[in-house]
Structure 1
């Protein structure tokens, strides 16, 4: 249920996030010994992920990705921030369920531009809260999350020359595996239930980027 990205900008992306979901602190572009050789580029990120097991879509964003581009190598590093997303799903084929899905970035989003094609990798921990099944609260507790970060790899279509942002605004696509859940259940263990309902491969993600001038 909430990458029920990234990242990903990805991130971008991705999703493409730390952005701890809804984090109050605006991420800062990564420091480097020779930052004068890097170009800061910021993006607005909007995306959608399809949770394969639930056959339901989850809206992501609008969020932001702040990156540094090495124009000589095409390498990109950055931070992704995504706000919490409300999710609506049908489980068991007929039972409505809602939740709030949060994304927390694990490390930097990294990527590379090669002749206008952007490939990125983001690692995002997915957290669930405010879960309700048929309108009845399901107390998942404060620490319900994926046991390991989801690894989101995204790729874009080619862009026209000069092959670098801000003209690189093609949508990014990818699929990812949702890891098993852990720490779920304040009064009873719910890890197995949520893992069985949500976790698994083949979750699609599409991310759109809009360049934000500095």
Structure 2
């Protein structure tokens, strides 16, 4: 006898969500003596090599130089504390004829000394400040032949960073002040050595490094209570009339997601479809598939902001996660008018919970209820065969937007804006591949007989190959 079922709210795929960045209001930096933060994790070595043009006096004229800057940067800091940049140096090679021009007329040996003045450009998003960095060139003898390599060293003032997120430090154009080291019995100079203001060549990378700034813990603050989820679809609708249902076989679901801001791809562990049915309304001819699944938490690792090693555990839950653990889904079946292939359309919603985050190997406590503050809305389409395989994604519909987060942080730390800034936003993609394991009744896919397993990673089903071959 046909079984009647109720269509239920849906979700069949997962998203990848993790990360940490937000822009905050107020000035970006201040030069001062704020108390230093904890010295963990250790400092990182940073370097930048830039090309400049320096207008030396006639008859020498403008010359191209390369300036190689190195420094140690803290891997991370906290707002209200100072970021200390250490061991700053700038090395540059001066053409021999330019170096000789600073010596007394006719001299071919001697030493140069002087200074290099430049700024560190400190910026985040559209805000920036400059921190002056004076460097000293110690007396350097000219070699017998070839160019003269000068190394300028100095101390960068402590920088109090009043923002949250990834802060970049870029080198800027240097100003050179060079002169010959006078002989011990030479009279004092009556004029100051000339300054040569160089300019950076355009179209080159100038970033020395980045520092991740975390929020300062405010003692005594309380976590905000989790906001209401909003409207939740109820299950009170009457079952549709004349619906014929047929059970599906053992279906394996493989999911993959990309988060644009992170440049990361997260692959979830395979899950199994429970109570999968294909449903046909005899009166209208409409058909759809229903079922439930659950995804195991997965640990994702990536480079936050392109340079910070970050890992976090992501768990995908139903909208009604407070009362149930299984994710119910419904997908409508149709024939694609272009490819003429059987296809599936699913309008899905899923919550994401974050936990067990680490930045540079240092644990970051997100708390027990770090969630997306609203469901992630996924609209998927693609070729699908109820008793074969399916390959649906958000690509045909422009991807999905990852919402902001709520309830993230403990002990007075509000980490919601950090997660929002790094990962939340549009342009993400979700993919779900389903495989009906023919003739297999084993709960573990590894125990299924040959020819009932999903294809190897990277391979395509016949339906997917047909879809790819057809023009759109």
TM-score bracket for this pair, using the shorter chain length: 0.7 to 0.9
Q: Distance in 2 between matches of 1:10 and 1:89?
A: 26
Q: Distance in 1 between matches of 2:358 and 2:347?
A: 32
* Counterpart selection for 2:420 from 179, 192, 195: 195
Q: Distance in 2 between matches of 1:40 and 1:32?
A: 18
* Counterpart selection for 2:252 from 25, 41, 44: 44
* Counterpart selection for 2:333 from 92, 95, 113: 113
Once the two structures are TM-superposed, the CA of residue 95 in structure 1 deviates from its matched residue by: 0.5
* Counterpart selection for 1:85 from 290, 298, 304: 298
Aligned residue number for residue 180 of structure 1? 404
Q: Are residue 141 (structure 1) and residue 141 (structure 2) matched?
A: no
Q: Deviations over 1:100-122 (max 9, x none)?
A: 10000226322211121111122
Q: Specify whether residues 56 and 136 from structure 1 end up closer, same or farther in structure 2 by C-alpha distance, changes over 3 A only.
A: same
Q: Deviations over 1:71-128 (max 9, x none)?
A: 3421223222111111012112201100110000226322211121111122110000
Aligned residue number for residue 3 of structure 1? none
2:259, 2:265 within 8 Å by CA — same for their partners in 1?
A: yes
Q: Distance in 2 between matches of 1:35 and 1:64?
A: 28
| Superposition CA RMSD, Å | 2.4
Aligned residue number for residue 74 of structure 1? 287
Once the two structures are TM-superposed, the CA of residue 61 in structure 1 deviates from its matched residue by: 2.5
Q: Deviations over 1:155-177 (max 9, x none)?
A: 112x6xxxx5113x131111221
Q: TM-score, normalised by structure 1?
A: 0.77
1:80, 1:105 within 8 Å by CA — same for their partners in 2?
A: no
Aligned residue number for residue 430 of structure 2? 205
2:350, 2:377 within 8 Å by CA — same for their partners in 1?
A: yes
1:10, 1:154 within 8 Å by CA — same for their partners in 2?
A: no
3-state secondary structure, aligned to 1:71: strand
1:45, 1:208 within 8 Å by CA — same for their partners in 2?
A: yes
Unaligned runs of 5+ in 2: 1-9, 16-237, 321-327, 336-341, 442-472
Q: Distance in 1 between matches of 2:344 and 2:425?
A: 26
* Counterpart selection for 1:132 from 331, 343, 358: 358
Q: Specify whether residues 131 and 35 from structure 1 end up closer, same or farther in structure 2 by C-alpha distance, changes over 3 A only.
A: farther
Once superposed, which parts of structure 1, at least 4 consecutive aligned residues long, lie more than 6 Å away? 33-36
Q: Distance in 2 between matches of 1:87 and 1:15?
A: 13
Once the two structures are TM-superposed, the CA of residue 36 in structure 1 deviates from its matched residue by: 7.4
Once the two structures are TM-superposed, the CA of residue 179 in structure 1 deviates from its matched residue by: 0.9
Aligned length: 184
- Could you say which structure has the larger radius of gyration? 2
2:277, 2:290 within 8 Å by CA — same for their partners in 1?
A: yes
Q: Are residue 166 (structure 1) and residue 166 (structure 2) matched?
A: no
Q: Distance in 2 between matches of 1:149 and 1:203?
A: 15
Aligned residue number for residue 268 of structure 2? 60
1:100, 1:130 within 8 Å by CA — same for their partners in 2?
A: yes
Unaligned runs of 5+ in 1: 1-8, 17-30
Q: Greater strand percent: which structure?
A: 1
Aligned residue number for residue 28 of structure 1? none
3-state secondary structure, aligned to 2:390: coil
Q: Deviations over 1:143-192 (max 9, x none)?
A: 101001111121112x6xxxx5113x131111221111000001200001
Q: Distance in 1 between matches of 2:243 and 2:333?
A: 19
Q: Deviations over 1:11-36 (max 9, x none)?
A: 1xx359xxxxxxxxxxxxxx968797
Deviates more, 1:113-122 or 1:179-188: 113-122
Deviates more, 1:104-113 or 1:122-131: 104-113
- The answer to which structure, 1 or 2, has the higher relative contact order (CA under 8 A, 6+ apart) is 1
3-state secondary structure, aligned to 1:166: coil
Q: TM-score, normalised by structure 2?
A: 0.37
